[in-house]
Amino acid sequence: MTSGSPMKLDAVTKPVGFACDDHASCVVDGLSAAEARCASNGLRFTPVRRKVLEILLQEHRALGAYVILDRLRDEGFGSQPPVAYRALDFLVRNGLAHKIERLNAFIACAHPGENHAPAFMICRLCDSVAEAQSAPAQGALGAAARATGFKIERTVVEAEGVCPSCSDTAASEATDSGSATSEARG
Amino acid sequence: MTSGSPMKLDAVTKPVGFACDDHASCVVDGLSAAEARCASNGLRFTPVRRKVLEILLQEHRALGAYVILDRLRDEGFGSQPPVAYRALDFLVRNGLAHKIERLNAFIACAHPGENHAPAFMICRLCDSVAEAQSAPAQGALGAAARATGFKIERTVVEAEGVCPSCSDTAASEATDSGSATSEARG
DNA sequence: GTCCTCCATGTGATCTTATAACGTTTCAAA
DNA sequence: TTTGAAACGTTATAAGATCACATGGAGGAC
């Protein structure tokens, strides 16, 4: 994750997660966006909720509720499951975080404030998760829904595969065929 | 589910699940398709596996592993979790069943034999689930994947909403405004 | 046929994920 | 300052999933 790619996509359509340029700003920006959002919507952005969001923002991957709970305990917050689940529920309800169903884990929203149908790309090698926009109602699923009369309220779109970084690693390892020039991967 | 709709869509693209015309045939056809598939692929379609698929085929909704396990016990099979999970794993690996991630539950595949990227429509009122085809790589998700260099290997596409049957019920209840003419829903 | 191996099954234990229930605290509006 | 809703802390337990190890049966090698 020592990227330096000059590529810069439009903020709205940019898939966020793989290769972020300035990770510190992810956390700071994410927290202030959340703060603003809660203030303008009359929501209480309490210490636990803030801390959980901060924990999520610190990684571009999904964290299980019990991992979050451990970190909360380390920070002096309550250490029982409902503490984490309630905060996560708040964040998810208000569009500040998402649940990755495939992993039973949670990730900070990369586009807070925008009304969106998120889609996720999950790397099965390094566990990183990137968020993109989806438009499931416009594709085959939408057609099927219209054909049957099903009313879509919410969609889960998650792709599992290999992220560009791991893909490069795998490719160079295959080339080197055994000699380990590239960095190790957990 | 007292359908009589004459609508008949192409077998391949037809979303299966809501309003099936002949439910007995779902089970029979599903089992024989599975049998044929296993025979031709050298897979062992053992009694437990067959029974689990039969249990799944009996409903157009997703069943939790422990519900399946209960039914297995009733039929004289082993009653420990691995019994159900192993059979489910076999069915999922071989395309005879799918896991609905959103529900942590399982459903029989409606298009066995076809190589497909399934999409599901989940009714939040009656829990019925219909399977349709998706083409996630052709939409916004595919574009995002190509843009970032992510290699999609598998996709989860699940829509949550209201099925046509429940939609009708809700509409007529709203019209009747309190008087209960339509059938009750558990 | 006998042995042997692989795969499937049975079972107990354990781990992970998630929620119910209930009392206490906080906060802001009346 | 009262009061009511929302948030929090904690205990207990439900629900989902896997580990580890012993047993059993089908099919190939000999």
Taking the domains of chain A in order of start, what are their residue ranges? 23-176
- The distance (Å) linking the CA of B44 with the C1' of D27 is 12
Is B87 a residue whose pLDDT tops 80? yes
Strand D contacted by A49 CB (< 7 A): yes
Is B11 a residue whose pLDDT tops 50? no
Strand D contacted by A72 CB (< 7 A): no
Higher pLDDT, A136 or A1: A136
Chain A residues closer than 8 Å to B1 by CB = none
Q: Could you please report the per-residue DSSP string of B161-179?
A: EE-HHHHHHHHHHHHHTT-
The answer to whether A139 touches B139, Cβ cutoff 8 Å, is yes
Interface test with B, best of A20, A121, A126, A150 (most B CBs within 10 A): A150
Is B103 a residue whose pLDDT tops 90? yes
Strand D contacted by A139 CB (< 7 A): no
pLDDT in tens, A73-102: 999 999 999 999 999 999 999 999 999 999
Q: Could you please report the per-residue DSSP string of B60-80?
A: SB-B-HHHHHHHHHHTTS--S
- The distance (Å) linking the CA of B79 with the C1' of D25 is 20
Q: What is the mean pLDDT of residues B146-175?
A: 88
A38 is annotated as contributing to ligand binding: no
pLDDT in tens, A36-45: 999 999 999 9
B155–A159 C-beta distance less than 8 A: yes
Report the gap between the CA of B18 and the closest CA in chain A (Å).
Answer: 8
The confidence score (pLDDT) of residue A134 equals: 87
Q: What is the mean pLDDT of residues A124-138?
A: 90
Higher pLDDT, A178 or A77: A77
The model's confidence at residue A54, banded by pLDDT at 50, 70 and 90, is: very high
A153–B155 C-beta distance less than 8 A: no
Q: Does B83 touch chain A (CB under 8 A)?
A: no
Strand D contacted by A47 CB (< 7 A): yes
The confidence score (pLDDT) of residue B184 equals: 35
Q: What is the mean pLDDT of residues B147-154?
A: 95
The confidence score (pLDDT) of residue A115 equals: 78
Higher pLDDT, A14 or B172: B172
Chain A residues closer than 8 Å to B147 by CB = 9, 15
Closest Cβ opposite residue B138 in set A9, A139, A145: A139
Report the gap between the CA of A105 and the closest CA in chain B (Å).
Answer: 12
Top-confidence range, A63-72, B17-26, B28-37, B176-185: A63-72
CATH numeric code, A23-176: 1.10.10.10
Higher pLDDT, A35 or A14: A35
Least confidently predicted of A75-84, A105-114, B154-163, B175-184: B175-184
The confidence score (pLDDT) of residue B16 equals: 58
The model's confidence at residue A162, banded by pLDDT at 50, 70 and 90, is: very high
B155–A141 C-beta distance less than 8 A: no
Nearest to A62 by CA among A6, A3, A146, A118: A118
Interface test with B, best of A21, A141, A153 (most B CBs within 10 A): A141
Task: Please tell me the distance from the alpha carbon of residue B128 to that of residue B123, in angstroms, as a whole number.
Answer: 5
Higher pLDDT, A149 or A172: A149
User: Contacts for A164-169 with beta carbons within 8 Å, 24 or more apart?
Assistant: A164/A18, A164/A19, A164/B148, A164/B149, A164/B150, A165/A1, A165/A18, A165/A19, A165/A123, A165/A126, A165/A128, A166/A123, A166/A125, A166/A126, A167/B149, A167/B151, A169/A125
φ/ψ region of B46 (left if φ > 0, alpha if ψ in -120 to 50, else beta) reads beta
The binding site of B for Zn(2+) consists of 123, 126, 163, 166
Nearest to A23 by CA among A103, A128, A117: A128
